[in-house]
Amino acid sequence: MDDAARTELRAVWNSAPASDDPLLVWAVADIAFRLERNPESEGESRPQNTRVMFSRPLSALFDIPDTDTVWIHSVWRHA
């Protein structure tokens, strides 16, 4: 995860009510698990070889520069 994505995730977390903490923990773990397992099959294709995936209540924009690396570039909360 790059610094911008970490900052975005921190902002989402800090602005969420405490009651959302379990949802956010689950979504972060789900994104990590799915991207570790088979990132090429996750999410939807976007321009410039990026992909977007959804794990309520979060979305993540990522790319796969090589077979051993996944970079998350942006994280945001979606409805």
Please, what is the average pLDDT of the chain? Answer: 94
Q: pLDDT grade, residue 33 (50/70/90)?
A: very high
Q: pLDDT grade, residue 68 (50/70/90)?
A: confident
* Cis amide linkage into residue 57, ω under 30° from 0: yes
Read off the pLDDT of each residue in 11-27 and give the average, rounded to a whole number: 96
Residue type at position 39: P
Q: pLDDT grade, residue 48 (50/70/90)?
A: confident
Cα separation, 24 vs 51, whole angstroms: 20
Cα separation, 52 vs 67, whole angstroms: 18
* Contact indicator for 42, 18 with CB cutoff of 8 Å: no
Run of H or E including 75: strand 69-77
Residue 27, token pair as written in the block: 């979504």
Q: Which domains does the chain have, with CATH numbers?
A: 3-77 (3.30.2310.20)
Read off the pLDDT of each residue in 70-75 and give the average, rounded to a whole number: 96
